[in-house]
Structure 1
């Protein structure tokens, strides 16, 4: 028995060590639970609440509206019932579901990259080291396998490309399961398009078609289309509403601004797909090319992948160039669908490049093995340092429990004393999804899509404040995904703790429009000194020792919507 364990450790110690590192990386979620610091942007301020609302509504397959948000949020704007995260949030508490998602993401990212790199590199330490660094990247949490699962998907497609119908059945099965753990619109529509291009190029080059590869691409695409049936139904069969995305007006960068955006994305990446490649990976790739030149080598694959990533950054930058407005203004799909998101393929490509560069140094540089091990350790440390708990605790951001402050909002609910479905609230100086998480029916929101007509009506409420701040006005009018109660003097700051010295003494909202839309109460994280000028009656403030907020409750004066 001990001999068998010894053999397993001897043969797979690199994998076991990598899994141990990932387990330590994940440990804050399991040890701290709701006291963990996790990302706010496009996470606690949105996706976690969307999943929770959908899970609690029970409207998985229904096309009915969710009444909790904007007097009726179209069901098609939320996750599909075939999204595995919906069921995690249905079966478990939100933080537990989040932890499960993080665990799947990290281990799938590791093993997928490991299997992929093993095709090109024989050093198990390079393969394991680069794979564990990739697995610890600060992926967008709600993406699950949308980015982290790309190496696994690529490995499976290459396996089917090489072996055709002889590829193992479990490769096919895994490939067909990935759609339930990932997002088609975010990444896989582009990834599958590239797989289709590879199939077509192979057909032209080798004069025969690989029908197994074609079937794999077609089957995976079909599963994604079935999974996203609600969006397809809404777009092409029964739209039901005109989305606010139809009025998007993004992309007015000058040529110089576009060039700067290219270099910014190529060198540092995007907030949702950061590869943390600036200070170690890029220099290593540069050194690898120098070593290749001195050794008269042709690192063709490394050069091709580097140029591919440069092309992705260039496409991303030019998508926001003012010259593209001609196309976007005349082709609805170009305006409503973000084709620049192909840059989400960046992290996978950067880490393949990193592994190839390290392999070149390993073989052709004096003391190469020692240098490579040190570089891998340095990169792993740099990404581990961005672990959510470490990063957001360091930045002074709230924990999961502090952000949602359930006990505090319970006391507000109890004070109001009515069923939450009987009144509507808006939030000032904080994210409206906090109120949504705590069961309140909100008129403000953050969603990827909602009725354009509602946006226009809500905008009337905040129009006086937008008039004071051109930046906010442009932010709302050109995009508007965040339909917040903006205050000119606060800008795009949405977290104010109870020790804040900020006071709102120049607030100017259209209270008639708020009342007409059904607003009954205003929840503010800051005191509104001129509340009477805005026809708001101060009720009382709420705070406790556990919450980071002090919430000021104001009642909208006038006859409530449900009595009119």
Structure 2
């Protein structure tokens, strides 16, 4: 009676408002730190954040003409190699500075994720009045998972889509459900989840048809058609360049999985275990310990005995196991037929793992539902454990707590330190005085740090990290670094068999793209082909490491720059005129 009075009294003490307060507290460190927030660097700050910024800078958000290029990337990267202009994340980067756009995007994605998961739980998995608190807590745990928020609702939006499809299937759909299905592709990435959600819905259509539920099958088929049609509309640059009017041959056609993937049963089992226990980091990597404990608790305590629990959980567990095995071994199979089926280069089939986080939360929620009312304490503890696991494995959040405490993690710069705008403004001003040219009047290469840093500071770089760019450019770029690749078989394979990071490599630095100002790193023997660099339009090398013998690369030192607020010390070298 007392508990009912509390939950039905002040609105702020009800489960959903409490979950929203919890999410606000989660986001508070980002708000307090602002541009000094730590943002995930790998495949995020060093790659994805530059794309929406540059699309807005060059007024190319909705410019899908084949002739449109982003001039500051790779001597003119085709606009259609970048993300869709219909994505709300891109719009935010047109309204706000990159760091602010990123944080607002993250807040919106996590808020919508919380509301979508809470709606699914209350409607399907935890519908009883006594389970309102568990649903709110589990929704908060979902919303605070370690995700790549730059990918929008690709992961966190799945519960809302699932609920809408289930309502459509049962004939109880409202206009909002159809709208949600149509809107899902707008803020998600087709290459990550589109083919797999489409395949799953197609399987549901066939199952309903086989069961004689033809009306249900027709409604799900219609929803699937709407979803895929909207993906074509939203991702038209991708579909057009791949399937209709091929604007360029992608560098991905030369991906050689036989050189990238470890073969054999042992390697496949290790990958399977990784997907099963942790998941893949792009799709949310978190330890599945709370899920496993919840399953054990349900088997041990479910009314009716363990067989009842096993019967209800088995399809979910077998599905998770099957997806994990598929993701663990599929690349080995694709590697063997990659030349016969070249279209497979366009899609990484291990991205089926993007569906695993929702499946794991489904198992967790259903396990909690199977627990008797007297085990409420255990259920609350399991939800709390899942929340704690997600928070502790969320490197952005934990790193920002360390920032606030004055003990930042070594080697993990925050946004302001990483982008280092005052430092690069000084470099731009100096080079403008030296050359009489704006950054668009010359091209630079970056050594020891990601070219995205220079791009975010409005430099025009010959190098970049791109998921899709013209193969012809990769072939023109390779001679610049051929001498360094010849010294290191691992780097040579990294570029030739993959090549998303079209970088100025040094065999001495390897794949270290976070060379700090202190201690000073010195590269003793860097063998850039300066003549090829000049022919491609290059003039300056911006290096986070000092070159001991720049003349070896046909370079001469210009100046070096430092700033106490920057993570980097940048050494500027110019190609000698003799290399013309």
Matched position secondary structure for 1:538: strand
Matched with 2:544 is 525
3-state DSSP class of the match of 2:283?
A: coil
1:27 and 2:38 aligned: no
Show CA shifts across 1:334-373 (max 9, x none): 233212211100111111111122222344xxx6211221
Q: Does structure 1 residue 129 correspond to structure 2 residue 137? A: yes
Deviation at 1:188, TM superposition (A): 2.5
**In structure 2, do the counterparts of structure 1 residues 280 and 463 end up closer, same or farther at CA, with 3 Å as the change threshold?**
same
Q: Secondary structure at the match of 1:425?
A: strand
Q: Provide the rounded CA distance (Å) in 2 between the counterparts of 1:354 and 1:167.
A: 26
Shift of 1:8: 6.4
**Structure 2: stretches of 5+ with no match in the other structure:** 403-407
2:462 aligned with 1:443:
yes
Q: Which one of the candidate residues 179, 182, 185 is aligned to 2:188?
A: 182
1:147 match:
155
8 Å contact from structure 1 (residues 126, 359) kept in 2: no
Give the Cα–Cα distance (whole angstroms) in 2 for the partners of residues 11 and 443 of structure 1. Answer: 54
SS of the equivalent of 2:71 reads coil
Shift in CA distance, 388/81, structure 1 to aligned 2, threshold 3 Å:
same
Cross-structure match for 2:377: 370
Aligned to 2:125: 120
| SS state at 1:206 partner | coil
Map of 1:427 onto structure 2? 446
Q: 1:224 matched to which residue of 2?
A: 231
Given the alignment of the two structures, is residue 390 of structure 1 paired with residue 398 of structure 2, yes or no?
Answer: yes
Matched residue, 2:272 = 262
What is the count of residue pairs matched by the alignment? 552
C-alpha contact 2:148 2:284 (8 A) present in aligned 1: no
SS in 1 for 2:198: helix
CA shift, 1:40, in A, is 0.5
Indicate the larger mover: 417-426 or 107-116.
107-116
Moved more, 201-210 or 422-431: 201-210
**Residue aligning to 1:456:** 475
Contact map agreement 1:312 1:343 (CA 8 A) in 2? yes
* TM-score computed with the length of structure 1 as normaliser: 0.93
Task: Report if the CA contact (8 A) 1:248-1:336 is conserved.
Answer: no
Could you tell me whether the CA contact under 8 Å between 2:522 and 2:546 is conserved in 1? yes
5+ residue gaps, structure 1, are none
RMSD: 2.1
Any idea what SS the aligned residue of 1:499 has?
coil
Aligned to 2:535: 516
What is aligned with 2:405? none
Aligned equivalents of 1:515 and 1:301: distance in 2? 66
Deviations 1:522-559 (A, max 9, x none): 00011001111111100010011211211000001126
Contact 2:338 2:344 in 1 (8 A): yes
Partners of 2:442 and 2:181 in 1: CA distance:
47
2:202 is matched with: 196
Contact 2:334 2:344 in 1 (8 A): no
- Report the equivalent of 2:317: 306
Task: Tell me the secondary structure at the aligned position of residue 542 of structure 2.
Answer: strand
**Does the 8 A contact of 1:461 with 1:514 survive in 2?**
yes
- Counterpart position of 2:526: 507
CA distance in 1, matches of 2:306, 2:546: 68
1:94 is displaced (CA, Å) by 1.4
1:316 is matched with 327
